[in-house]
Amino acid sequence: MTINRRIEYGSSHKIKQISKTDLPGGGQVVVEKGYAYVGHIDPPHGTTILDVRDVTNPKIVAQLEVPEGIHSHKVRVSGGVMLINYERYKTDKKPEAGLKIFDVSNPAKPREIAFFKTEGGVHRFTFDGKYAYVSPDLSGYIGNIVMILDLKDPARPEEVGRWWMPGQWIAGGEKPSWDGRRHRCHHPLRKGDRLYSGYWLGGFVILDITDMSRPKLVSQFDWSPPYPSPTHTTLPVPWKIMDRDILVVTDEEAEKLGPGPDAFFWIVDITDETRPIPVSTFMLPANGAESTGGRYGCHQPAEQLYDNVMYVTWFAGGLRAIDISNPYQPLEVGYYVPVPGKGQKVVMSNDVFRRDDGLLFLVDRYDGLEILESQA
């Protein structure tokens, strides 16, 4: 991928709303060929598909529901194929869980074509049109692991390979050195023959998938403790910055080891991938939760990169634009804090998708989809 817009380091970005659609709380949004796909947090709401060819007037064309005890808060789409997760959620029951696959060649009429089942479901995943890189909860393991699925025939998903942190495979006699599910895969992102995955309170891992059937650990880095927040997303930058290979890492303000500080945004130098080196951090002023009345801290960057400006959701802090052209000194160049949705006292910006025309699609964990325009 190449940079297709030249932006001067530190230039101010004006982010403004184009439209807003009331929707149940969203966990993820992706956009393909004029349609937006939103995965929802709470059942019975599953996935909403919207026609956004007119971004000033989005229109709902389809909605999927999920059974009690399941949430389907993540969604990915590529080449007319949609993947959604079925994860057990706030229930003592055991509904069927896993990864569902749909034909969305007609987005208004999604058609289920496969259901890859796992014990507790799938939390999050990525999809490149041929392979899915997922974080399933499997029988015999403690906490989610890394799995690669072959989806060249999307109606017949097949496992290619898996990797887990030593200690997770309890059925094989392994014993974790941590408490409960603290070390678990969040979601892998691929760059070339590498997978980069947050591993919650186990930090992050870099995996060599030259042989997909046997992923191999390249390195692991963990900063919690002393930092209290779990590692959420590990996003490799597709180009060098200052002649260095850069990994953008976000923590999540959730399931923390202690009350503070708020979750960080990190820049990690992986030029020597066997020895990752954190070179800088970015965070907003402390005590954000106290001032806003809600969860406040780093969460999820837009994974679609076109230049060195990262758009990062910050829960009650809204959306932040962070320029990493100088990776040793990340600089906020813009922000957008939405008005809370109907019936809500606080905003909870959860996920953002950046389209190649510069438009931003922002979902709130409580209510709403906003389409935004960012201009330098």
Domains located in the chain, CATH noted: 14-20+90-351 (2.130.10.10)
Average pLDDT on 353-372 reads 97
Q: Is the pLDDT of residue 3 over 60?
A: no
Q: Is the pLDDT of residue 5 over 50?
A: no
**pLDDT tens profile 265-305:** 999 999 999 999 999 999 987 666 656 667 899 999 999 99
pTM, full prediction:
0.95
Average pLDDT on 167-194 reads 97
Q: Which of 180, 288, 303, 170 lies closest to 248, judged by CA?
A: 303
Average pLDDT on 57-66 reads 98
Least confident of 13-17, 92-96, 291-295: 291-295
**pLDDT tens profile 214-225:** 999 999 999 999
The amino acid that residue 213 corresponds to is S
Q: Is the pLDDT of residue 60 over 90?
A: yes
Residue carrying structure tokens 């004006």: 14
Average pLDDT on 363-370 reads 96
Q: Which residues lie below 8 Å from residue 164, measured CB to CB, with a gap of 6+? A: 141, 145, 146, 185
Average pLDDT of the chain, as a whole number = 94
Contact present, 262 and 251 (Cβ < 8 Å): no
Q: Is the pLDDT of residue 4 over 90?
A: no
Res 292: pLDDT = 67
